[in-house]
Amino acid sequence: MKSLSVVLKGIDKISIFLGKLFSVTTIIIMILQVTEIVLRYILKSPTIWIWELCVYLYGAAFVMAGAWVLQEDLHVRTDLLINNLNDRQRAFLDMIMYPPLVFVFIFVMTPAQISAAIHSFLIKETSFNAWGPPLYHFKAILSFGFVIFGLQAAANWIRSIVLVFKGVEI
Amino acid sequence: MTETGIVIAMFFSFLFSLFLGTPLVYVLGGLSIIFGFLFWGDTNIIALFVRTTTKLATTTSYVCIPLFIIMGAALEKSGAAAELFESIHVIMGRIKGGLAIATVIICALMGAATGVIGASITIMGLMALPAMLKCGYSKTLASGVVMAGGSLGSLIPPSVILVVYAGLSQLSISKLFAGGMGSGLFLTFLYIIYIVVLCIIKPDVAPPITQEQRESYDKKELQKMFWSSFVPTISLIVAVLGSIMSGIATPNEASALGALGAFILAAFKKKFNMKMVMECSYNAIKTTSMVVWIILTASMFTSVFLGLGGGRVVTELIMNLGGGNRWLILAIILGIIALMGLFLDSTGTLMIGVPLFTPILYSLGFDPLWFGIIFAVMIQLDYLSPPFAYAIFYLRAVAPPEVTTKDMYYAIIPFMLVQALSIVIMCFFPQIIQVLPSMVK
């Protein structure tokens, strides 16, 4: 039990660390966009790469922060029923509903994302825009985001099982 | 199973799973995979889902969402909003209902500074609500004004809802922002009219502040506050929105300038430090991630739902109910959107509602931009409508205990009626929405 708790807390830490790490991209996007404005409107020499890089930064950040949002249980849910339940009853519902919805989603999407990333690596895929950077790093980050998301979901599910059967939160 | 049978099964499993309290993201994601596999009968659907993910992660127009959130969070943390309230509150407090009117105006301004509604309700709940209660305002008027005014942020640009709507409907963000501005100002105006009328009918619900209270404020300090908070905040808002609507800057560039400007403002107020920057970015990325994950799974869900014939079933149902009268059909659709708001959040309502309803309304000759704004007003109404009124949840967290949740439910009713009235007026006078966008290039 103790070692299980250590593992679950470790997963939490990974989710939080990656979420916080990738939140820095928002500040980087701000700085890049302002630089582009200076280059374009004041120095009259716009770049072809800043806006595209900003899009990739935003995309990577939203996927990677998903696990953090999950860890803090911020994803919106309807509380019509669960407002009247105690923690253990809520955990029971999570225990039942995770496999058909959460795990189906993650078990199908994660391998599909990974194989798309591998395919992208094999064909050395690049973007179709003027700058045309390689896309496979980006796709690898997206699939990594799904892996972390899945890990965090598994951790939440195990927690709900322990709460239902042992009555303790770990 | 027949087409209608599949659609009904999908609809009810959706409602059932939501009812059991499973987060919306998984309900949408899980069901789209299950129904896609079972009834689409083709694994190509997975490739479609992967493409949807890549497409969303590379959608240029969503880059501004985290930056607008940073701008709002930085303005909030800089204390500009609090000072704004203090200075306007003494000026306006002299007349009956003045504090309530001031609250609505500041909420509208804050709506123009942030894209999310939670922030303005929280701040106004902490400052304006106790101030009004101290002055002898009725609990229902005071809390109603905070909730209704605070949710204006979903309509007044920059609004995350309008950015998402633009991405969904291929309408221009600047035109939607202009339309949101028109209707947002109109609603602000209606709220103020309501307060004035109420004060004439029942003068004791909103007494003016006493001489004594007025003198407790140092005039010089107030003037200083006005110049150091009101003027810079307004200039920042005008610069950001103005540059988008005049076409000088793209929404992404304007949002970056807005965020930078808010940080600079915070630096002038000596509130700028590393911790504050990180808190703003955490806030921004969590909200963005929440919204975009719902957009992802909701896109998957709607493509399966529409692919399995859900669109045809819903269209036929609405058309039969409406019997060919386009206004009746519009009313039915607005009714459905109101119902959706009872159990979905704003992004979910948008993602499912737009692909289902816009084809019907476009075919009946309704203006796409006009309906986009009406949809946004409906979503704002969803924030206010019990039992799942987000506005009440946000206010409950900060309101003094003497204001009960029951007071808040009563408080919200007149403002919901004003809101419904505004939709009717905007049906008769679409110019309210259309004038500003027509000036946008």
B15 in any annotated domain: no
pLDDT at B116: 66
Cβ of A141 under 8 Å from any chain B Cβ?
A: no
Query: Which of B247, B262, B272 lies closest to B178, judged by CA?
Result: B247
Strands (E) located in B272-347: none
Q: What is the mean pLDDT of residues A98-119?
A: 91
Q: Which residue among A29, A54, A112 sits closest to B46, beta carbon to beta carbon?
A: A112
3-state DSSP: chain A helix, strand, coil percent, rounded to 5? 80, 0, 20
Q: Is the pLDDT higher at B75 or at B423? A: B423
- Per-residue model confidence as pLDDT tens digits over B307-335: 888 888 888 889 888 887 899 999 999 99
Lowest-pLDDT choice from A129-138, B37-46, B207-216: B207-216
pLDDT at A113: 92
Q: What is the mean pLDDT of residues B185-197?
A: 95
Is A26's CB within 8 Å of B66's CB?
yes
Residues 6+ apart with CB under 8 A from B12: none
- The sign of the torsion formed by the CA atoms of A31, A32, A38, A41 equals negative
Q: Does residue B246 have a pLDDT over 90? A: no
pLDDT at B209: 74
Which two three-digit tokens encode residue B12?
């009810």
Cβ of A68 under 8 Å from any chain B Cβ?
A: yes
What gap in Å lies between CA B402 and CA B404, rounded to an integer? Answer: 6
Q: Does residue B220 have a pLDDT over 80? A: no
Cβ of B273 under 8 Å from any chain A Cβ?
A: no
B346 in any annotated domain: no
Q: Does residue B218 have a pLDDT over 80? A: no
Q: What is the mean pLDDT of residues A42-47?
A: 87
Residues 6+ apart with CB under 8 A from B141: B100, B132, B195, B198, B205, B206, B411
Domain count, chain B: 1
CA angle B386, B388, B389 (to 5 degrees): 65
Lowest-pLDDT choice from A82-86, B8-12, B366-370: A82-86
pLDDT at B140: 92
pLDDT at A8: 94
Q: Is B51 exposed, middle or buried (0-12, 13-18, 19+ CB in 10 A)?
A: exposed
Which two three-digit tokens encode residue B106?
């500041």
What gap in Å lies between CA A46 and CA A110, rounded to an integer? Answer: 38
Q: What is the mean pLDDT of residues A6-14?
A: 95
Q: Is the pLDDT higher at B194 or at B76? A: B194
- Per-residue model confidence as pLDDT tens digits over B333-374: 999 999 888 778 888 899 989 999 999 999 999 999 999 999
Q: What is the mean pLDDT of residues B241-250?
A: 85
Q: Which amino acid is at B439?
A: M
**pLDDT band at residue B189, thresholds of 50, 70 and 90?**
very high
**pLDDT band at residue B80, thresholds of 50, 70 and 90?**
confident
Domain that holds residue B194: 65-272+368-439
Which two three-digit tokens encode residue B93?
């407090």
Residues facing A134 on adjacent strands: A126
**pLDDT band at residue B115, thresholds of 50, 70 and 90?**
low
Q: What is the mean pLDDT of residues B100-127?
A: 81
Cβ-Cβ contacts under 8 Å, A109 against chain B: 29, 33, 46, 49-50, 53
Q: Is B308 exposed, middle or buried (0-12, 13-18, 19+ CB in 10 A)?
A: buried
Cβ-Cβ contacts under 8 Å, A23 against chain B: 278, 281-282, 284-286
- The sign of the torsion formed by the CA atoms of B283, B285, B288, B294 equals negative
Q: Does residue A76 have a pLDDT over 80? A: no
Q: Between A and B, how many residue pairs show a Cβ–Cβ distance under 8 A? A: 189
What gap in Å lies between CA B127 and CA B87, rounded to an integer? Answer: 12
pLDDT at B143: 94
Q: Which residue among B21, B54, B294 sits closest to A78, beta carbon to beta carbon?
A: B21
B138 in any annotated domain: yes
Highest mean pLDDT among A152-156, B52-56, B95-99, B150-154: A152-156
Query: Which of B23, B191, B25 lies closest to B97, judged by CA?
Result: B191
Cβ of A130 under 8 Å from any chain B Cβ?
A: no
Query: Which of B139, B24, B18 lies closest to A69, judged by CA?
Result: B24
B325 in any annotated domain: no
What gap in Å lies between CA B343 and CA A150, rounded to an integer? Answer: 26
Three-state SS at B131: helix
pLDDT at B94: 79
Backbone angle region of A44, left / alpha / beta, with phi > 0 → left and psi within -120 to 50 → alpha: left
Q: What average pLDDT does the structure give for chain B? A: 87
Q: Looking at the complex, report in whole angstroms how far the Cα of residue A119 sits from the nearest Cα belonging to chain B.
A: 12
pLDDT at A1: 76
Q: Is B419 exposed, middle or buried (0-12, 13-18, 19+ CB in 10 A)?
A: buried
pLDDT at A141: 93
Q: Which amino acid is at B424?
A: V
Q: Does residue B46 have a pLDDT over 80? A: yes
A61 close to A30: Cβ distance less than 8 angstroms: no
Q: Does residue B272 have a pLDDT over 80? A: yes
Q: What is the mean pLDDT of residues A61-80?
A: 86
Q: What is each CA distance from A146 to A155, B305, B362, in whole angstroms? A: 14, 24, 37
Cβ of B350 under 8 Å from any chain A Cβ?
A: no
How many CB atoms lie under 10 A from the CB of residue B89? Answer: 22
B347 in any annotated domain: no
Q: For chain B, how far is it from start to end, CA to CA, in angstroms?
A: 50
Please give the ipTM for the structure prediction. 0.93
Query: Which of B391, B419, B420 lies closest to B405, judged by CA?
Result: B391
Query: Which of A75, A66, A77 lies closest to A149, judged by CA?
Result: A66
B385 in any annotated domain: yes
What gap in Å lies between CA B14 and CA B2, rounded to an integer? Answer: 18
pLDDT at B250: 86
Q: Looking at the complex, report in whole angstroms how far the Cα of residue A108 sits from the nearest Cα belonging to chain B.
A: 8
What does R_g of chain A's alpha carbons equal in angstroms?
Answer: 20
B398 in any annotated domain: yes
B70 in any annotated domain: yes
What percentage of chain B has pLDDT greater than the value 90? 34
Which two three-digit tokens encode residue A88?
């253990």
How many CB atoms lie under 10 A from the CB of residue B273? Answer: 11
Helical (H) or strand (E) element with A159: helix A136-166
